[in-house]
Structure 1
């Protein structure tokens, strides 16, 4: 590469989520993945939005702090919190908890806070945004919920509903400015952040 050509910053996704990795691949940008070492427990009396925003930024900062050298690096951190009646709904982890979550959400509207942070390591500038998705669940019987869970096994996603898979059959409506936010990484917001940071989104691939 000629000296006159400036390389774009290194892009790092601070996440252990394969869903976020697959989403970021849509932008066809070169990136690395580093899993942040972070306690993701919500703080007492913390609002769902505050939890998501804090963890998204903390993940990005933790990965940035683990790097050596002084190369230009942009770190992407993201976190999602599902809420029902202002109560946080986390990743179920098992079948029984997932069924309980879906039973509580059926016929109801659930808010998904998909927080995003783009952290510039050299400058310490952090762009952060909470992208909210409103989801209304269908009022389904336990037999349908059980069938879904046995088919999809969505125990590693907040709220137990994978909208990119069979989980779409659980939903009555989705209201969002960014359809990728519900899956876990708001690509429209991220693209704007990258442009703001001077990253050549459509020229870097």
Structure 2
């Protein structure tokens, strides 16, 4: 009588995945990976430090957001992200109002802007922590005041760094986009996110 084949070992349970952001744009991007995840709001002061470059600001805030949420969910794998529009070293954040959006777009017209998009992945229980930057260089058209007003009236992108949503009508404001991580401009660089999630032990496929 032959011995019964050993039962396959059960796969280890997947850790809870938490997106440390209330941005609907990041939530929609992460949904593309078909992973179950929860959303938590990171309570982080986003004020730049004195003399802090936009690149360093984005990296610091992405990691801080992930760390703050990971402290509340120590067994989870937590994603934090931040984006800062960088105009020759000047940080442009979310405009919040129509007037500030007009001012931002007037400053950027005819110029190149680097959208410094950072993503961090943290798991407190395992000590895993990584953060990466996905810079996106964008060249704006030489926009007229009338084009700026028409765009803002239609799309009202007041919750977007740099006052433009490339996934919508904002694409009409641009001459070129240069990036090695296509979703970075929308707010979450998925190529880098996937790489770090795999390193943290999250099974994607």
CA–CA separation in structure 2 for the residues paired with 1:177 and 1:144: 29
Measured after TM superposition, the shift of residue 123 of structure 1 is 2.1
Measured after TM superposition, the shift of residue 164 of structure 1 is 0.4
Question: Is it true that 1:118 corresponds to 2:124 in the alignment?
Answer: no
TM-score (norm. length: structure 1)? 0.94
Measured after TM superposition, the shift of residue 125 of structure 1 is 2.1
**1:159 maps to which residue?**
162
CA–CA separation in structure 1 for the residues paired with 2:44 and 2:88: 27
CA–CA separation in structure 1 for the residues paired with 2:201 and 2:94: 35
Q: What RMSD in Å do the two structures reach over aligned CA positions? A: 1.2
Unpaired runs of at least 5, structure 2? 1-7
Matches within 5 A, 1:1-205: 4-67=10-73, 72-202=75-205
Measured after TM superposition, the shift of residue 114 of structure 1 is 0.4
The total of aligned residue pairs comes to 198
Contact 2:128 2:200 (8 Å CA) reproduced: no
TM-score (norm. length: structure 2)? 0.94
Measured after TM superposition, the shift of residue 19 of structure 1 is 0.5
* Farther off after superposition, 38-47 or 180-189: 38-47
**2:5 maps to which residue?**
none
Who wins on radius of gyration, i.e. which is larger?
2
Name segments (4+ residues, structure 1) moved above 4 Å: none
SS of aligned partner of 1:26 = helix
CA–CA separation in structure 1 for the residues paired with 2:38 and 2:203: 17
